[in-house]
Structures are given as C-alpha cells and as structure tokens.
Amino acid sequence: MGRPPAIATLGELLVEFVREGRGGGHGEGGVYAGPFPSGAPAIFIDQAARAGARTAIAGAVGRDAFGAVVLGRLEAAGVDVSLVERDPALPTGIAFVSYDAAGAREFVYTIAASAAPRFPHGHEVAAAFLRMGVGVVHVTGSSLGDGGMRARLLATLDALEGRGVRLSFDPNLRPELMAEAAAGEAVRRLLGRAAFVLPSEADAAALFPHEPFEVWAPRLLGQGAEAVAFKRGAAGASLWVRGAAGPVHAPPLPVREADPTGAGDCFGGTLVARLVLGDAPEEALRLAAAAGALAVTRVGPMEGNSDLDALRRAAAGA
C-alpha cells in the first residue's frame, strides 16, 4: 500500500482582525487584535497538516506584511504553499470580525478588492495537485461568494473531474459573501459532488430546512457521499459514513469560548485528515471534535489550531 493521498484546498487567504469585547460594531472606534492568519481554507489546511496529513493550498496574497503573516504560518505547519501567488499590485485580503452582545459575528471584508481571488488558473492548479498526489480537494462555501474566485475554483474542480480526486465540502454559508444567486447554485452543485460533507447547524437549517440529520445524511450517502458530518457546536458532533447502519457521535468538550471563528474549519481539517490517514470513524470524529473545541479557546481564527498530540490529549480528557 502506498502513502496516503495528500489533501489540498484553494480559496481565500486572509489576515483577520478581531475586535475586543462584545457589543461594539465596526462603526465606532475600538481595539482589534491582529493580524491573524486566516481564511477558511487556510484554517482547514493548517489544521489538516497539524493532524498529520500531507497538504497543499492554492491562493493569492499581496506582497505586503500581511501576506507574509499568512504564508509564514502555513509554511510553519508544513503546508505546501508553492501554488500561492504573491500579487504585485493588490493587497492581501483582510477580514474584520466583531461579536455582538449575543455572540453573533459581524464582518467587514476586503476580499473582492484584494489579491485573495486572483489565485492561479484552474488547469495549472489541477495539474499541480495531481503531480503532488492530491487525493482530496477541500472547498468551503466562503470561497464561493466572490465571482472571480468562484470561477477559478470551479474551473479547477472541472479539470480534476474523472481523475480520482475526491471533494470535501463545507457549505460554510456566509450571508455577507453570498449575495449572488450563482453562489447558491455553486453550493448545491458541490453538495451533490462531495465525498466528504461538513455542514454546521446553520448550514443544515438553510440547506435542509425542517429535516433532521437522520433524514438528510443518509440521503447524501445514497447520492454518493462517503462521509457526512454534522457540526453542532456546543452540542457535539455526528458522523455517518457510507455502509454504516447509523451515525457515530462525539460529545462536546467542556471549554471556555474565547473566539469561535475557525472551529468548523479545524473540525473539518482534522476529520478529513484522520479519515484519509486511516483512522476509524469514531476516532477521527473524536479528534475532530477536540480540534473544534480547542480552536475556540484562543482569540484568532488559527491560533487555536492543534498538533495531533494535543488533539489526542484533549480527546482523551473528554
């Protein structure tokens, strides 16, 4: 048996600034921590690398201090960044996040006007992924709102069609980024093609209204998915794999939440990495739930990402 396939992703590379305190919007002066390396695909792939997978990412940053922040972090985790462009003319994308009194997030993004959507063209990325031995490509819905990014991303997936590369898809629906109808259509299309499907509660409520996990998960498995996870935040997580009579569950880990951003991506990166590396579904789910729990304990979207030893210790303590 050969080495496990590599996991790759593509999409927005960002820095993020996190507003301190709750209840203040971006429309008045405050205090922000940052720049933190961010972007849902970056968080996912950083965590997949830390969980033991061979990884790569395609995307673009500006030739500025913020681009160096993102690339430096991914390189430190061992992610192959040779497919990350350094745009000479555009700044690195920036996200500002604040939390209202109820904990709901409010974003200001510069993605569309930044380097982020200008990553290498689809066929180049697809060819490079195949050379690298990529067996799973992960896509997050947050990358589908920008028209230019969506087009490049779908072109890459089309170029990989029929080449034995499985799709991992986190719907990650962001109202701020998905104003266009074409974004919603892309979400439905990827949902129908994905081997790994990783929705949150909010995603499931939007995609499968009034249906329980026990209805939509087997339907997706019947349509070709291999593994369907359900991220329920503080209520834990579930995973249903093809051929199993029912789902396995992971209880929530008791953690103190400092910043929930990135938790879903850490869950997904760990789950896909550990399944690709051959863990049993129960074990992969336990480690993924631990990764999601640890992610929320630190301010900054990627600051709570964890190595495999830390995941195993946290999962054992749950």
- Residue 17 is a binding residue for a copy of itself (CB under 8 A): yes
Residue 253 is given by DSSP the state P
Q: Beta strand 55-62 with 248-250: parallel, antiparallel or unpaired? A: unpaired
- Residue 5 is a binding residue for a copy of itself (CB under 8 A): no
Pick the stretch among 104-112, 145-153, 194-202, 213-221 that binds a copy of itself (CB under 8 A).
104-112
Judged by CB under 8 A, which of 14, 79, 94, 273 binds a copy of itself? 94
In terms of CB distance, is 106 or 283 closer to a copy of itself?
A: 106
- Residue 142 is a binding residue for a copy of itself (CB under 8 A): no
In terms of CB distance, is 34 or 247 closer to a copy of itself?
A: 34
Judged by CB under 8 A, which of 64, 124, 180, 283 binds a copy of itself? 64
Nearest CA among 53, 44, 56 for reference residue 128: 56
115 CB-contact burial (10 Å; exposed 0-12 / middle 13-18 / buried 19+): buried
- Residue 66 is a binding residue for a copy of itself (CB under 8 A): yes
Nearest CA among 12, 4, 265 for reference residue 153: 12
Q: How many other C-beta atoms lie within 10 A of the C-beta of residue 290?
A: 26
Judged by CB under 8 A, which of 4, 86, 105, 108 binds a copy of itself? 108
Residue 277 is given by DSSP the state T
Strand (E) or helix (H) holding 80: strand 80-87
What lies within 8 Å, CB to CB, of 84 at 6+ separation is 13, 57, 58, 59, 60, 61, 71, 74, 119
Judged by CB under 8 A, which of 6, 8, 12, 35 binds a copy of itself? 35
Judged by CB under 8 A, which of 2, 3, 29, 210 binds a copy of itself? 29
- Residue 27 is a binding residue for a copy of itself (CB under 8 A): yes
Give CA–CA dist 110/158, Å, rounded. Answer: 27
283-312: which residues touch a copy of itself (CB under 8 A)? 300
- Check if the beta carbon of residue 252 is closer than 8 Å to that of residue 235: yes
In terms of CB distance, is 232 or 298 closer to a copy of itself?
A: 298
- Chain residues that interact with a copy of itself, rule: CB under 8 A: 17, 25-36, 64-66, 68-69, 72, 89-91, 94, 106, 108-110, 112-114, 300
